């Protein structure tokens, strides 16, 4: 089958799946072509009559059936984009969000004058790997409670040959260490149980609940524990960074302040929502 013939047929089929949203259909069609056939949109437009090598309708139909069930492409192809990184991913870890890219960039700016950082809950490793690669003379550490997340993160560490990042299994509610750091950061679970009603099927059916949700009656449980940990394990002048629930900006800032942190600031994301908290110890 020819490049253009398959691409436009695929886009038409996906437009039906996405309720007439042609832009969404085109974006997904572009990714499928790239991931399944290693053909970019530029190649489709430049060489419309070129035949696709190794074309298999069976493989394509399998992908389409999974998409119809709202399974994210990142899990179908085990690939997720994070800034300039392409990471291995699977349903045991969250798919990186654009807000988290902002978070990583913000922390990266602060790492210029810092020598070490510790991430609580690394997931796929997207943040720490990005930081470690950009600041390769500095030392990074990370813990996560999930065995599967550790496996995913290790694959991404190996893919990029990261030498200055050490990750391990640990529950922050039980973790003990005498080590101190210049930066502590976390994007912990922060979606309340009641907010499930607002979430889409592709998230609820496929992404890991333990990495997303917190009880309505204790929405800041992770921020409380990590702030307590940070107050004990940050060097003087050290920085604490959080990605947060947009509905709890003021409350999270007040909690951080209660542990002795100064210059506490709630930072908005590019949607204008309260999304990050940064502070100094």
> Contact 208/93 with Cβ under 8 angstroms?
yes
Q: What is the pLDDT of residues 146-173, one digit of tens each?
A: 999 999 999 999 999 999 999 999 999 9
pLDDT < 50 stretches in the chain: none
Q: Is residue 274 within a helix (H) or strand (E), and if so which, with residue range?
A: strand 274-280
Residue 163: per-residue pLDDT: 97
3-class secondary-structure state, position 261:
coil
What pLDDT was estimated at residue 55?
85
In whole angstroms, what is the distance from residue 69 CA to residue 230 CA?
41
Q: How many residues does the chain have?
A: 281
H runs (alpha helix) in the chain = 3-17, 22-32, 41-46, 57-68, 73-76, 98-110, 126-134, 147-160, 201-204, 221-233, 249-258
The predicted pLDDT at position 207 comes to 96
Contact 125, 156 (CB under 8 A): yes
What does the pLDDT look like over 49-78, one tens digit per residue? 999 987 888 999 999 999 999 999 999 999
| pLDDT in the model for residue 144 | 98
Q: Cβ(88)–Cβ(152) under 8 Å?
A: yes
**pLDDT value at position 230?**
98
Residue 56 is predicted with a pLDDT of 83
> CB pairs under 8 A, 24+ apart, for 79-83?
79/35, 80/124, 80/126, 82/124, 82/126, 82/130, 83/130
């Amino acid at each position: 089958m020819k490049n253009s013939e398959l691409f436009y047929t695929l886009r038409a089929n996906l437009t039906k799946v996405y309720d007439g949203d042609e832009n969404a259909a085109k974006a997904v069609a572009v990714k499928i072509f790239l991931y399944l056939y290693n053909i970019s949109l530029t190649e489709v437009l430049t060489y419309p009559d070129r035949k696709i090598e190794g074309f298999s309708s069976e493989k394509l139909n399998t992908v389409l059936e999974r998409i119809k069930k709202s399974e994210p492409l990142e899990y179908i192809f085990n690939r997720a984009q994070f800034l300039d990184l392409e990471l291995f991913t699977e349903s045991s870890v969250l798919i990186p969000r654009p807000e988290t890219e902002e978070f990583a960039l913000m922390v990266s700016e602060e790492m210029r004058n810092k020598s070490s950082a510790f991430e609580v809950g690394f997931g796929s490793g997207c943040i720490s790997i990005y930081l470690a690669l950009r600041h390769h003379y500095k030392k990074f550490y990370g813990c996560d409670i999930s065995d599967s997340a550790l496996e995913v993160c290790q694959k991404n560490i190996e893919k990029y040959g990261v030498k200055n990042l050490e990750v391990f299994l640990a529950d922050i509610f039980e973790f003990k260490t005498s080590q101190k750091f210049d930066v502590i950061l976390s994007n912990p679970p922060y979606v309340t149980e009641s907010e499930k009603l607002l979430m889409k099927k592709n998230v609820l059916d496929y992404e890991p609940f333990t990495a997303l949700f917190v009880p309505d009656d204790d929405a800041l449980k992770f921020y409380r524990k990590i702030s307590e940990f940070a107050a004990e394990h940050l060097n003087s002048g050290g920085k604490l960074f959080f990605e947060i629930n947009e509905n709890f900006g003021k409350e999270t800032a007040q909690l951080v302040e209660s542990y002795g942190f100064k210059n506490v600031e709630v930072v908005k994301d590019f949607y204008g929502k309260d999304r990050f908290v940064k502070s100094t110890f």
